[in-house]
Amino acid sequence: MVETLLTPDMMEYTTSLQLIFFLTLLALLPTMLLMTTAFTRLIISLYFLKSAMGTQQMPPNQIVIGLALFLTLFIMSPIFTQINQEAIIPYQNNEITQQQFVDLGTRPLKEFMVRQTRDEDIKLFMDLSGLPLIEDETDILSQLPLYVVVPAFIINEIRAGFVIGFLIYLPFIVIDMVVASTLMAMGMMMLPPAMISLPFKILLFIIVDGWHLIIGELLETFR
């Protein structure tokens, strides 16, 4: 009934607005992928690992970013599947409206972010935005807007990445200290400790099957 009241000029204007909205959403997709998924915690942790080992060029940055990206897809695949089944397919079949598509599409992602975010971070942004505290906890997701959940999730992921990075650094720092103390005791002041400790770091990482251990523990932090 509404479509019959629209003139051709109005329908063309509406189509243009939808096209602009789609292109804007497409341009923001990489940022949304970085900020609303597991990518932030993974990439920070992997770069801390690379820095702790002291291997400046190995593995290359492209491989580290690619590994973080595919691990993100692995972690987020159940959520993307849920979004596809509950929002995208019904919308394509004209079973739901555009507003329902947005609500159903963002709900699984919001649920993931809220589950990973500390209550303190969510409360911080609720206080800053002037929102009242949630008293009815039966449906928290509907009461938390995205502009509160997303920044709270981001700072929580950065914090988690730094905590994991600190724990990764500890065994490698011990090796650096042992090597530096040994060289000083031997009077070899001119020999850089990093040159000697690097092979021992790599040997330790190989012995404990480092990639298997660290990637497994990183994935466990999202459960």
Q: Which pLDDT score, from 0 to 100, does residue 142 have?
A: 65
Is residue 57 helix, strand or coil?
coil
Whole-structure pTM value? 0.74
Task: Give the span between the Cα atoms of 138 and 146, in whole angstroms.
Answer: 18
- Give CA separation, 181 vs 174, 184, 196, in Å: 11, 5, 12
Closest to 52 measured CA to CA, from 208, 190, 204, 216: 204
Torsion, Cα of 55, 165, 37, 19 (10° steps): -50
Q: Which pLDDT score, from 0 to 100, does residue 6 have?
A: 46
Residues of the chain with pLDDT under 50: 1-6, 10
Q: Which pLDDT score, from 0 to 100, does residue 193 have?
A: 65
